[in-house]
Structure 1
């Protein structure tokens, strides 16, 4: 299997919608996801993707900012690897590639959120050297 890691051209952002739709257990309609991603590409956002033998199998949004406590920081978001490709160390390789990419852009830290009901992701991030810093709170307006 040949893997390709790259930053998705913003004009191709709609390619990731089916994967993110599955990530959210189909709870956010694809029409809404399409609208949101069309907005996101005009913010401090890039999208990293993984192809296996030419098939899109993984996605990771990247939010870039500077934070007072961590400096130049990137937040991986909506990380998803197709179920058929899990357990093959692709996520590990993907994050290694992402870390190299963001370091080359001068970023110092990576921080992320993961759903509390996703213990598999917690194990993955602990194994990748992440530590719990705090809680993420959300209030819908």
Structure 2
């Protein structure tokens, strides 16, 4: 397996099929628009390839909060359904762990849907723990990707 850090819109757009496993309705135009807004804010993606096929992808970025200082956030963690249970998720979290350490982050954070128990189990096994609630107020539901 080959890991590659994606840093350009073009590299990321080429992996939209993998993103579709999480967001089946994501259009190329919407994906491009969001990426163009995210990249100036330290957004990157990590992709895992097997025989030139993207079998896993996650976004990540470094931010700073008053309570934590510098942190790394994982966003949109996707493993191709036919390649699950092969350690790809662990490969990605190990890479993000190393990257967060390299960049001086105090912690790694992520969101997981409350009903996604499979993801919860995976994240617990990777050393993540719930710290609080992520509240949201949806004001434009028609624009959501999921």
TM beyond 0.5: yes
Q: How far apart are the structure 2 equivalents of 1:44 and 1:139? A: 25
TM-score (norm 1): 0.88
Deviation of residue 91 (structure 1)?
A: 0.7
Structure 1 spans left out of the alignment, 5+ residues: none
Contact 2:3–2:48 at 8 Å: present in 1 too? Answer: yes
Alignment pair present for 1:22 and 2:25: no
Q: Which residue of 1 aligns with 2:6?
A: 8
How far apart are the structure 1 equivalents of 2:135 and 2:87? Answer: 31
- Say whether the 8 Å CA contact 1:62–1:77 is kept in structure 2: yes
* Distance in 2 (alpha carbons) for counterparts of 1:12 and 1:35: 14
Between Structure 1 and Structure 2, how many residues are aligned? 138
Normalised by the length of structure 2, the TM-score is 0.86
Q: Which residues in structure 2 correspond to 1:80-99 (within 5 Å)?
A: 80-99=78-97
- Paired residue secondary structure (2:20): helix
1:69 corresponding residue in structure 2: 67
Aligned residue in 2 for 1:42: 40
Measure, in 2, the Cα distance between the counterparts of 1:57 and 1:13.
14
Deviation digits for residues 36-79 of structure 1 (CA, Å, limit 9, x no counterpart): 12221222211111111221111111121111222210110000
SS class of match (1:23)? coil
Per-residue CA deviations over 1:10-32 (Å, capped at 9, x if unaligned) read 141212322222212x2443432
d(CA) in 2 for partners of 1:133, 1:22: 27
Kept after mapping to 2: 8 A contact 1:21/1:30: no
| 1:87 CA displacement | 0.5
Q: Is the 8 A contact 2:43 2:60 kept in 1?
A: yes
Give the 4+ runs in structure 1 shifted more than 6 A: none
